[in-house]
Structure 1
């Protein structure tokens, strides 16, 4: 295992022969299922690993506790069950969404469910559609992304509340990114996170909504709630995030209002990482960006390679390496990662 300050040129995940073999299933728009396998070691000490060069062609599907993944030449997505018994994460990528007036945008979302996968799955299917419905282009001023994102999350929360009677204890975090017209918009509700690599520097575009964050603690207590340190700080001793979609039984202490960041894209903006806390709990912002940068530069290479239109998809490899690193560092949660190259056509 490599420390944050150590060299990250090589990452090897080794497991014994009797350990269950884990695979990361990936797909693409023109898409087939591929396996990016972790290295295993047999009793004779010889390494066994998939060394195939993988070509994309076919259709997507879902396998066991592993979600189907979407890959493209400028982005890669990996989402795995990890060491949990149930998969509660969900991811969504929608490219070229069209809004009234002819504008288009690319959408990326990571949803980390709790109490079950229901709300995360509903967010995966609906939140980007609600966003399209909510976008209002103000002539001369463009889109008011702050207002739009907040209303979008509110409507998603309302849909979940109406549609999941009897499941008031189910919820999900949501961190989404929109790339549109030279702008990058990030909206976050919960403790998933978005981090931008800008000129070699890791820049957090969202701040985790933890119950012990001073302003969140003040807000929860002002609403009449309490934050209790019960295996970590939790709202009413139950929920380890202070904002989410769903979780009706914890309102008004837990709210769905996102914090929104809007920035103009520049030539210094290299790539964006969206991930659930299954990765961020064990990998720092700086380490994650350093790993991705080295993957994109070809300094960290995987034996199993994703090829799109004759080109290696290094963003997909970078997402896979981050998942492997989180697993190697002992993450016990579901892990979902999206890597988006921002300065590629």
Structure 2
């Protein structure tokens, strides 16, 4: 095995009961590298206890698509009611590859290390049940009305995971870690206008607008264009120098869908079946559409140790970096993908991982490590409710292994990895 020289993954200690926390750790495989292990617990339920959903229908045998649009198209649309027995019922997204899960909270593992990159500028967040998502943002009214449900009142508990790769300093990435989920939660709680009979395109545009307002608000606060509260007092000064910024890749995990917003060159990949599905596209200055946008705004893309905006920044979008505006913008690209029965896990990471590990290899490693942990321990991850919204030793083993693999392959940057297990009720398997 090409990974045989890597030491076996550790079983981590139980996480502290907090939303954001960190501890220092020096495992044997990185005795010379300070490792910061961020662990997140549940902040308590923010969602209604009765909120819907759980049922999986059989998947199809066709290969999983490798791009965001293909992933969304493969899952189909529409909603049906499925009898789960014992007086329980669930909403099932139409299309044989889609699922709705009842009161199922994902479990995850997270590792963040400066690696060989010097100062730690990455940050990450995991916030279970951070908000309720109106189901009207994920399903058409006529599909819900046909089931005798109040489409405007139904909401799904949702969970947020995010990675922020800072540059020029850690101020912006740390601010995003503390602030992005708060702003997004407020956006989701805003009284919705009459959504009418929305098509899939309309829903996508609504999510685009929602995330754009969220990212722009955080960017304005970072840049000093909007006031923020500090110890109860409003302040409007920039939180960092003009050359400090951060990427932001965030995913909202609902029982039926995952919704991704990406700004920069961090990345999220879905392991579906045994295939990787890229849920974000790196925003680089050498992307044809991004280069055209930058040049239309009066900027230049210069080849200087890679393609860079004004010869400086190696990404084309970020939060912060006010000295490169309007060429650098905080507007995210949004992808909505219905969940499927054969979805295994999500991998969010900074480019410290993706620079040296491919999507295919990352998914293969994560899937194998999760299954191997369950095989070795002969237990399911969590109780019968499908997950408690907390760190998990199997997902932690996968995140830990991916980090060590990136270091072994020579990554020169900070490395942050979150692995979200979308199948918390697993049974041991003999192979992957």
Structure 1 segment 1-345 matched on structure 2, within 5 A: 7=1, 10-12=4-6, 28-30=15-17, 35=25, 37-39=27-29, 66=36, 68-70=38-40, 74-99=107-132, 103-135=156-188, 136=190, 137=192, 144-162=206-224, 163-164=237-238, 167-298=241-372, 313-344=393-424
Mapped to 2, the partners of 1:166 and 1:124 lie a distance apart of 15
- Pair 1:126–1:134, CA change in 2 (3 A): same
Q: TM-score, with normalisation over the residues of structure 2?
A: 0.64
Secondary structure of 1:110's aligned partner: strand
Number of residue equivalences: 306
- Pair 1:86–1:324, CA change in 2 (3 A): same
Instruction: Tell me if the contact between 1:243 and 1:256 (Cα under 8 Å) persists in the aligned partners.
Output: yes
Instruction: Tell me if the contact between 2:34 and 2:115 (Cα under 8 Å) persists in the aligned partners.
Output: no
Structure 1 or 2: more strand by fraction: 1
- Pair 1:165–1:156, CA change in 2 (3 A): closer
Instruction: Tell me if the contact between 2:108 and 2:392 (Cα under 8 Å) persists in the aligned partners.
Output: no
Instruction: Tell me if the contact between 2:40 and 2:127 (Cα under 8 Å) persists in the aligned partners.
Output: no
Mapped to 1, the partners of 2:221 and 2:333 lie a distance apart of 20
Instruction: Tell me if the contact between 1:188 and 1:206 (Cα under 8 Å) persists in the aligned partners.
Output: yes
- Pair 1:24–1:164, CA change in 2 (3 A): farther
Mapped to 2, the partners of 1:64 and 1:24 lie a distance apart of 18
- Pair 1:308–1:81, CA change in 2 (3 A): farther
**What are the Cα deviations for residues 74-101 of structure 1, in whole angstroms up to 9, with x where unaligned?**
2100001111221100000000113487
Shift of 1:67: 5.3
Shift of 1:104: 2.4
- Pair 1:200–1:221, CA change in 2 (3 A): same
Instruction: Tell me if the contact between 1:273 and 1:339 (Cα under 8 Å) persists in the aligned partners.
Output: yes
Shift of 1:150: 1.3
**What are the Cα deviations for residues 150-193 of structure 1, in whole angstroms up to 9, with x where unaligned?**
11111111111114266111100000000124110010000000
- Pair 1:267–1:246, CA change in 2 (3 A): same
Instruction: Tell me if the contact between 1:322 and 1:337 (Cα under 8 Å) persists in the aligned partners.
Output: yes
**What are the Cα deviations for residues 181-218 of structure 1, in whole angstroms up to 9, with x where unaligned?**
41100100000000001111001000001111111111
Shift of 1:29: 4.4
Higher Rg of the two aligned structures: 2
Mapped to 2, the partners of 1:93 and 1:176 lie a distance apart of 10
Q: TM-score, with normalisation over the residues of structure 1?
A: 0.79
